[in-house]
């Protein structure tokens, strides 16, 4: 069954779940250090990965996403070769102790990230269920 789960779509789901898991760890670290003097918050940069993907013109294999409206952004689902990176915000200050973690903002990002991860898991489960049915399961 391992070979059935190596298609481009499933690899994209897997890498997206890995990225949201990384973001969860980074956000949890921010929350844990909300009172630490001089601590600077971090986040996972998805924008650079998305830009790299959208700017690639010579791709060996890509699946173009369906656009139902001409105002939608065109993109393809293929490996970028770039992993999401953790970036630290060194420029802002929120507290007198030079810490820049806003707990309300961080908790909002945690909730958003949890919803993203849940959605990705649901899609992976859906794909696996369909593979199981195609193989002859019930």
Q: What is the pLDDT of residues 84-133, one digit of tens each?
A: 889 999 988 887 899 999 999 999 999 999 999 999 999 989 988 888 88
Q: What is the pLDDT of residues 29-88, one digit of tens each?
A: 999 999 999 999 999 987 666 555 555 534 444 556 667 777 766 655 544 445 788 999
Residue located via tokens 């760890």:
25
Cross-strand pairs, 42: 88
Residue located via tokens 């993109």:
75
pTM: 0.69
Per domain, the residue ranges of the chain are 1-34+99-138
Provide long-range contacts, Cβ within 8 A and 24+ apart, for 112-120: 113/20, 113/23, 113/24, 113/27, 114/24, 116/20, 117/17, 117/20, 117/21, 117/24, 120/13, 120/16, 120/17, 120/20
């Amino acid at each position: 069954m391992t070979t059935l789960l190596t298609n481009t779509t499933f690899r994209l789901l897997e890498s997206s779940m890995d990225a949201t898991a990384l973001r969860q760890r980074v956000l949890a670290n921010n929350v844990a250090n909300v009172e630490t003097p001089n601590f600077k918050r971090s986040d996972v940069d998805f924008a650079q990965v998305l830009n790299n993907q959208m700017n690639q013109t010579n791709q060996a294999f890509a699946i173009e996403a369906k656009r139902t409206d001409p105002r939608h952004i065109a993109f393809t689902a293929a490996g970028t070769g770039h992993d999401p990176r953790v970036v630290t915000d060194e420029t802002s200050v929120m507290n007198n102790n030079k810490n820049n973690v806003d707990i309300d903002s961080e908790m909002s990002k945690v909730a958003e990230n949890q919803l993203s991860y849940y959605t990705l898991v649901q899609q992976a489960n859906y794909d696996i269920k369909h593979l199981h049915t195609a193989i002859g399961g019930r």
